[in-house]
Structure 1
Amino acid sequence: MQQPEAITKIPILVVEDQSIIAADLTDCLENLGYEPAGVAVSGEEAIQKVAETHPALVLMDIRLKGAMDGVEAAAQIWTQFQIPVVYTTGYSDPNTLARAKVTGSFGYILKPFEERELHIAIETALQRHQLERNLRASQEWFATTLGSIGDAVIATDTQGLVRFLNPMAEAMTGWSQAEALGTDLSKVFQITDETTGAFLQNPALAVLHKGIATSLAQEQVVLISRDSLKFLVSANVAPIRNPQGSITGVVLVFQDVTDRQSGSNRLALVRTKWLEAQMAELQRLNQLKEDFLNAVSSELRAPLTNIRVATQLLELTLDRAGFWHSQTPEAKLEFERVRQYLQILNSECKREIGFVNDLLEVTQLDLEEDILQLDVISLGTWLPEIVRSFQAQARTGRQHLRLHLPAQPPSLVCDLISLRRIVTELLNNACRYTPPGETITVTAQVLNGQLELQVSNSGVEIATQELPHLFEKFYRSPNTTAYKPGGTGLGLALIQKLIARLGGSIQVESADRQTRFIVTLPLRNSISN
């Protein structure tokens, strides 16, 4: 049997008219494990190379020689090829930022920048681009599905209180979803016996009690809507169970089965209302999504980024002006305090930007369908590159970083962007919380036909009562000896969602001054045709 081929490195095009900077960018890309797709020195050449090489991302200098600058080139690249662009420039004036923002760029890095900052900007842009692609596919799938469903659907919680109505259910019951939420199903779904006219018991109660699906006979059940319309209905009620098998509610699916001749006009009216409600709901959801993304991007992330850039420029300006080179000991002490304050401000801005990015990604994962972009990943080449990119960070913290792979590392079919985010988040946590002199170990092995990835660190132990809460949003351990300040409280919640999307699981063990995160993933994710 032929072994799967190793996954191709992500190609990135560099657009830079200064040869020294272009060469430096190319070296950085190679060090970070990307594949340089070439260098263009003008906007026109950039568009031509994109058409020829089809890179996954473009690093674009805003100020380019020639008739077309980087902003115009980026706009044409996005319009023609839908390829994300990250700006790399030494200019941060408001006009430049405004023009770059209009093009819908996927990132903005101010020169000079560190290799790690470049890595974060690229990964963030690739993830955002993937999320937007998934969101568009999800919206298309959702619209197509709603267009083909003619049944009414109501879902409840374990108390029989309404949690969801689709537009057809709204039209047939006369209740909007906003009005019905939290209302007892027996009020929203009022049914009577066709022969006697007597009101029938709420069918959800029996299903919740017995845990067995049931049907309502179509020739005997009449639904009375809120506006007194009557429908002869056929209905099915089934329990909703979580992955552990516990009942979390019921789902009710029903149809109007009134005689077609006598009920055709009423059914046509109901379907018209449903279609109108469907369009209104889709527009509302899309507007909510756009409002949220715009608020996070414009009102939070952009100002924080500008504050951080301004802080760095202030520190650089003071350095060039010789501010730090005082002759008196007293002045030197005061100047050193100023430097520390600037470093604190820069660090806190960076942390808050990370928090906003994590919050945005967690929210997008909550809203999106599980549409994965699957690739064949050779673990023997991919994982060492990821671990290698953290060696400098580990050395700075005086930590030892180790990798253990089996003699024949496996390949797996997985969503590459999600897997990269999972591993890098776990390694970031390990580097942040491991004391100096201790060891971080990454281990991969195949157990029971599944891939098991472990990231462990010594010198840290988490209290047993805290372990169940680690994956909750915004949870931070009160044990300050185990956890340093600086985390967003969202990283572990985010990777738990990503792992669940991949069909895997994550658990944590901590004892004897050792903490171990264990990720289990299927070697082969299925692809639906």
Structure 2
Amino acid sequence: MKPVKILIVEDESIVAMDIADKLERLGYEVSGCVDSGELAIETVAQTQPDLVLMDIVLQGDLDGIQTADHIKNNFQIPVVYLTAYADKNTLQRAKLTEPYGYLLKPFKEAELNATIEMALSRINAENKINQQLKLSEQLRQKAEQLSEIRSRYLCITSHEFRTPLSIISLSAELLKEYNDKMSTDKKNEHLNRIQRALKNINQLLEEVLTLGKAEAGQIKFYPERIELSSFCYEIIDEQLLSYHYKTEVEFLTKGECGGACMDRKLLRHILTNLISNAIKYSPDGTPVSLTLTCENNQAIFTIQDHGIGIPPQDRERLFEPFHRAINVGSIPGTGLGLAIVKQCVDLHGGEIWVESQENINGEQSGTTFTVSLPFHTKP
């Protein structure tokens, strides 16, 4: 444990030397002896002592009380007065600076030690109280943030649920009222609408829960060794099956990825959302590519499509929850996928960036997402 550093501010050098000797015998560290308020302020700034022993009568333009007030307001370092003055006016001025002690000269070593120990005890108690207050404030702010997150997601999710619920309600009502008059094809059409709406609701719930947990800091990062090539093939197969093989996904690998260690669940969110978007926003039969490059202890995933592209005004808001580009039209989606991707990339300590050209008047278009994730050490 480091000794307590004490600065002595005393205009009489013999008295200052005597106090310094007493302090050293008591086991304290003397950070300096100065004789003026100006020097005291300068020395406090340089040495940051734990306590200042301050005489009231000093050389220079500042007396001890003015100096103590400056030190309190600018450095938050406690002061104990050592003075021969005990008149009412001096005491009243000194009290305004909220000192940690007031010791009258001449004093004995034991009295000095007792005053310092009482001051240090008060300092420790106040520090503990301040730490508890700071912790309480942090917890209060965290609670407010969590409450705000819950309220925001409840409000937005309630709004997003209305469309699929309306579809389910309308289709179910039509099937109920006109079941006998409907053709088999028409019935199947309404049943398919209900199934798609239910799928959208389920997806929305899953994504809201995932993103809400991420923003609330409730998703933990658990890296494990992953064979990245096999993992990428697995994700690609899942997405092709989900979209009924409406396109092809070309997969290329570069470099040695044997040392990859990442969070499997978070990586699945990243690749699933980016590959799904590439397929979803591309015309049928338009190829999509995934390139995996391993170099410098990091994996770089590049997902490229030749789809509708992203308008410039939407690119800055890509990772905002529920934001969708203005050109998506009737293409289904919740607007949460990229927000989840960003959270998962951040948890990996990685980076994500996008390049895109919007499809205007039939011009060449498409989007490329690049994700860089560092290799981690398995805990």
Tell me the TM-score range normalised by the shorter chain. Answer: 0.5 to 0.7
Alignment of 1:178-327 (within 5 A): 195=37, 217-218=48-49, 222-224=71-73, 231-232=76-77, 260-264=116-120, 266-274=122-130, 276-277=132-133, 280-281=136-137, 284=140, 288=144, 324=179, 326=181
Other-structure match for 2:11: none
Cα-to-partner distance string for 1:209-230 (whole Å, 9 max, x where unaligned): xxxxx978545752349xxxx9
1:444–1:453 contact (8 Å) kept in structure 2 = yes
Indicate the percent of aligned positions where both proteins have the same amino acid.
19
Structure 1 Cα separation of the partners of residues 302 and 230 of structure 2: 17
Cα-to-partner distance string for 1:186-221 (whole Å, 9 max, x where unaligned): xxxxxxxx937xx99xxxxxxxxxxxxx97854575
TM-score by length of 1: 0.43
Aligned residues: 286
Distance 1:444 1:324, change over 3 A: farther
Other-structure match for 2:207: 358
Q: Which has the higher contact order (CA 8 A, sep 6+)?
A: 2
Distance 1:284 1:435, change over 3 A: same
Alignment of 1:39-438 (within 5 A): 195=37, 217-218=48-49, 222-224=71-73, 231-232=76-77, 260-264=116-120, 266-274=122-130, 276-277=132-133, 280-281=136-137, 284=140, 288=144, 324=179, 326=181, 332=183, 336=186, 347-348=196-197, 350-351=199-200, 354-355=203-204, 357-368=206-217, 372-395=221-244, 398-406=246-254, 410-438=258-286
Structure 2 Cα separation of the partners of residues 473 and 294 of structure 1: 13
Of 340, 344, 349 in structure 2, the residue corresponding to residue 498 of structure 1 is 344
Q: Give the Å deviation of 1:478.
A: 2.0
SS at match of 2:133: helix
Q: Give the Å deviation of 1:371.
A: 5.0
Q: Give the Å deviation of 1:296.
A: 8.4
Distance 1:298 1:339, change over 3 A: farther
**AA of the residue aligned to 1:495:** V
Consecutive unaligned residues of structure 2, counting only runs of 5 or more, are 1-35, 53-66, 80-98, 102-114, 358-363
Distance 1:278 1:342, change over 3 A: farther
Structure 2 Cα separation of the partners of residues 440 and 294 of structure 1: 36
**AA of the residue aligned to 2:37:** T
**AA of the residue aligned to 2:286:** E
Q: CA RMSD in A?
A: 5.0
Q: Give the Å deviation of 1:420.
A: 0.9
Distance 1:370 1:358, change over 3 A: closer
Structure 2 Cα separation of the partners of residues 405 and 488 of structure 1: 31
Q: Give the Å deviation of 1:419.
A: 0.7
Distance 1:473 1:195, change over 3 A: farther
Q: Give the Å deviation of 1:413.
A: 0.7
Q: Give the Å deviation of 1:282.
A: 6.5
**AA of the residue aligned to 1:436:** D
1:304–1:349 contact (8 Å) kept in structure 2 = no
Structure 2 Cα separation of the partners of residues 348 and 300 of structure 1: 17
SS at match of 1:451: strand
**AA of the residue aligned to 1:401:** V
TM-score by length of 2: 0.56
Structure 2 Cα separation of the partners of residues 470 and 294 of structure 1: 21
**AA of the residue aligned to 1:394:** Y
Distance 1:290 1:477, change over 3 A: closer
Q: Give the Å deviation of 1:458.
A: 1.9
Other-structure match for 1:442: 290
Q: Give the Å deviation of 1:422.
A: 0.4
Structure 2 Cα separation of the partners of residues 380 and 263 of structure 1: 65
1:433–1:484 contact (8 Å) kept in structure 2 = no
Structure 1 Cα separation of the partners of residues 131 and 264 of structure 2: 38
**AA of the residue aligned to 2:347:** R
Distance 1:296 1:341, change over 3 A: farther
Other-structure match for 1:127: none
Q: Give the Å deviation of 1:286.
A: 6.9
Q: Give the Å deviation of 1:275.
A: 5.5
Q: Give the Å deviation of 1:492.
A: 1.6
Consecutive unaligned residues of structure 1, counting only runs of 5 or more, are 1-193, 201-213, 235-255
Structure 1 Cα separation of the partners of residues 315 and 306 of structure 2: 17
**AA of the residue aligned to 1:232:** I
Q: Give the Å deviation of 1:498.
A: 1.7
SS at match of 1:487: coil
Of 516, 519, 528 in structure 1, the residue corresponding to residue 368 of structure 2 is 516
Other-structure match for 1:525: 376
Q: Which one has the bigger strand percentage?
A: 1
